[in-house]
């Protein structure tokens, strides 16, 4: 398998699905919709929607059930990035090599664009759930929606972000740093794989195992992000580098060093794939691309 070629195809597939759900730019709130559209189309790995679909593919299910959740997940992820870039948070002027939303549309519309994407994400999924007439499909979709809401909220991404902001500039224990990473970054990655499994009809035991796998993937992803903030360039990363050092933020790299960070990313990635293999013993379909995607996290440059 040519992984890079397959990743490009799957990224394009995910983007086509996501773009089909972007609201039309029209009406008196046109400027807001333009900011929302810009925020989504500015680019990205589309990792979370891809994880939803690739996890679903491990089960015998109609792939179309994942589409509204893929769009909703990317809209929620985009809103979080828009708000992260705001002056009150990371104060970043660039996102993926382009002007961040608040730099292009103003700080006020940076806030509103994020709010709009978050609410529209839930509108998409709730409308989809309301359209279902089959009880089994409806139950799975509602469970997936509940998972999305929890992992995006106070017990997930927002909760992790709140601790990160509260403890900003302070020395952090390994426990607190792990908490922030697993919620702020890991929660949406966990939700992505869990949603794919839930929509695929997986039972609670399997969903729990997939949550554990995704938790390791999310932690590895964030530690790699810390590494790239030190070792990459703004051109390669598509956003300013050394932001963590400039903002005096405690990271895994600042506490343990780059070599230890790289070793931890590999350990977490290996463990995630090993646990994925154990699922195959439960008669769940093997997904070679998903394995390669997890491993690619330790080699990514942006």
| Span 14-69, pLDDT tens digits | 999 999 999 999 999 999 999 999 999 998 999 999 999 999 999 989 999 999 99
Q: Please write the tens of the pLDDT for every residue from 100-131.
A: 999 999 999 999 999 999 999 999 999 999 99
Task: Show the tokens assigned to 45.
Answer: 């790995």
* For residue 246, pLDDT beyond 70: no
- pLDDT band at 243; cut points 50, 70, 90: low
Span 240-264, mean pLDDT? 78
Q: Are 236 and 302 in contact (CB under 8 A)?
A: yes
- What is the predicted pLDDT for the residue at 242? 58
Q: Among residues 150, 156, 149, which one has the least CA distance to residue 181?
A: 156
Q: What is the pLDDT of residue 29?
A: 98
Please name the CATH architecture into which domain 3-296 falls: Orthogonal Bundle (1.10)
Rounded distance between C-alpha atoms, residue 101 and residue 81, angstroms: 9
Buried b (16+ CB within 10 A) or exposed e, 145-179: bebbbbbbeeebbbbbbebbeebeeeebeeebbeb
State residue 41's pLDDT score: 96
Whether 247 has a pLDDT exceeding 70, the answer reads no
pLDDT recorded at residue 164: 92
- Give the 3-state secondary structure of residue 107: helix
Predicted confidence at residue 245, as pLDDT, reads 56
Q: How many CA atoms lie within 13 A of 296 on its CB side?
A: 15
What per-residue confidence (pLDDT) applies to 52?
A: 98
Q: What percent of the chain has pLDDT over 90?
A: 83
Say what percent of the chain tops pLDDT 70.
94
pLDDT on residue 12: 97
| Whether the Cβ atoms of residue 218 and residue 180 lie closer than 8 Å to each other | no
**pLDDT tier, 299 (very low <50, low <70, confident <90, very high otherwise):** confident
**Over the stretch 271-287, which tens digit does the pLDDT of each residue have?**
999 999 999 989 899 99
Confidence band for 295, pLDDT divided at 50, 70 and 90: confident
Mean of all residue pLDDT scores within the chain: 92
Whole-number Å distance between alpha carbons of 71 and 115: 16
Measured from the Cβ of residue 206, the count of other Cβ atoms closer than 10 Å reads 19
pLDDT for the residue 38:
98
List the domain boundaries for the chain. Answer: 3-296
């Amino acid at each position: 398998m040519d992984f890079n070629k397959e990743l490009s195809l799957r990224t394009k597939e995910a983007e086509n699905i996501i773009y089909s759900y972007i609201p039309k730019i029209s009406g008196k709130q046109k400027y807001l919709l333009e900011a929302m559209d810009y925020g989504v189309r500015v680019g990205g790995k589309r990792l979370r929607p891809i994880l939803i679909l690739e996890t679903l593919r491990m089960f015998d299910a109609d792939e179309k059930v994942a589409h509204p959740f893929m769009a909703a997940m990317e809209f929620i992820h985009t809103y979080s990035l828009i708000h992260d870039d705001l002056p009150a948070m990371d104060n970043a002027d660039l996102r993926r090599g382009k002007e961040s939303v608040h730099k292009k549309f103003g700080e006020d519309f940076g806030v509103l664009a994020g709010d709009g994407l978050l609410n529209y994400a839930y509108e998409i999924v709730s409308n989809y759930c309301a359209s279902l007439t089959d009880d089994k499909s409806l139950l799975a979709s509602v469970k997936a929606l509940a998972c999305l809401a929890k992992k995006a909220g106070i017990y997930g991404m927002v909760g992790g972000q709140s601790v990160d902001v509260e403890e900003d500039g302070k020395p952090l224990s390994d426990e607190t740093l792990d908490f922030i990473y697993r919620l702020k970054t890991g929660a949406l990655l966990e939700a992505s794989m869990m949603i794919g499994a839930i929509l695929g009809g997986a039972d609670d035991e399997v969903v729990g195992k997939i949550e554990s796998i995704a938790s390791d993937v999310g932690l590895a992803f964030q530690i790699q992000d810390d590494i790239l903030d030190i070792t990459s360039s703004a051109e390669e990363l598509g956003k300013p580098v050394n932001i963590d050092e400039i903002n005096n933020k405690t990271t895994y790299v600042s506490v343990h060093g780059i070599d230890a960070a790289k070793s931890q990313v590999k350990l977490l990635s290996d463990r995630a794939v090993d646990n994925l293999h154990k699922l195959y013993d439960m008669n769940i379909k093997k997904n070679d691309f998903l394995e390669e995607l997890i491993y690619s996290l330790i080699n990514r440059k942006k």
